[in-house]
Structure 1
Amino acid sequence: MTRDSNGNALQDGDNVMVIRDLKVKGGTDLKRGKVFKGIRLSEDAEDAVEVREGRGTLVLKTMYLKKV
C-alpha cells in the first residue's frame, strides 16, 4: 500500500500537495504547497506516484507529499 508523509493511504485519482521545495532536473523547481490533481500510483516503485506537470509527467516520492 502506498502512503503519504502522514501515513494516509493513496489511490489513483487522489489530490496531493508538495510539503517542501523540490529541485527538478531540467525543469522548473516545485514550491511547497503546489497541488497535483489526479495522481497515478507508479508501477516501478512502491513509494512513488506519477503527476502531470505541464506537458510531461514527474515521478515523486511520497515522503514529500501529503493527501489533500
Structure 2
Amino acid sequence: MAKDSNGNELNNGDNVTLIKDLKVKGAGATLKRGTLVKNIKLTSKDSEIEGRIDKMGVIVLKTEFLKKA
C-alpha cells in the first residue's frame, strides 16, 4: 500500500503535490515544490508512483516526496 509523506493512502487516479524541489535525471530540469502531479498510477513498488506532470509527460516519483492534493 503506497502512502504519501504524511501517511495518507494513495490510490490510482489521485492528484499529489511535491513537498521538495527535485532534480530530474536526464532531463536537466528541476521540479519545484508545490508542482501538481495528476492522475497517478501505483507501481509494483510501494515507494514509487507514476504520474503526469504538465510539459514533462509521465514520470516516476518516490512517495516520500509527495503529499495528497
Same fold, TM exceeding 0.5? Answer: yes
Q: Could you state the TM-score of these two structures normalised by the residue count of structure 2?
A: 0.88
Deviation per residue, 1:4-46 (Å, 9 max, x gap) = 0000000000000000000101222100000111100012x11
Q: Which runs of 5+ in 1 are unaligned?
A: none
Larger relative strand fraction = 2
State the SS of the aligned residue for 1:46.
coil
Q: Which runs of 5+ in 2 are unaligned?
A: none
Structural RMSD (CA): 1.2
Runs of 4+ residues over 6 Å off in structure 1: none
Count of aligned pairs: 67
The residue aligned with 2:9 is: 9
Q: Could you state the TM-score of these two structures normalised by the residue count of structure 1?
A: 0.89
* Percent of residue pairs identical: 52
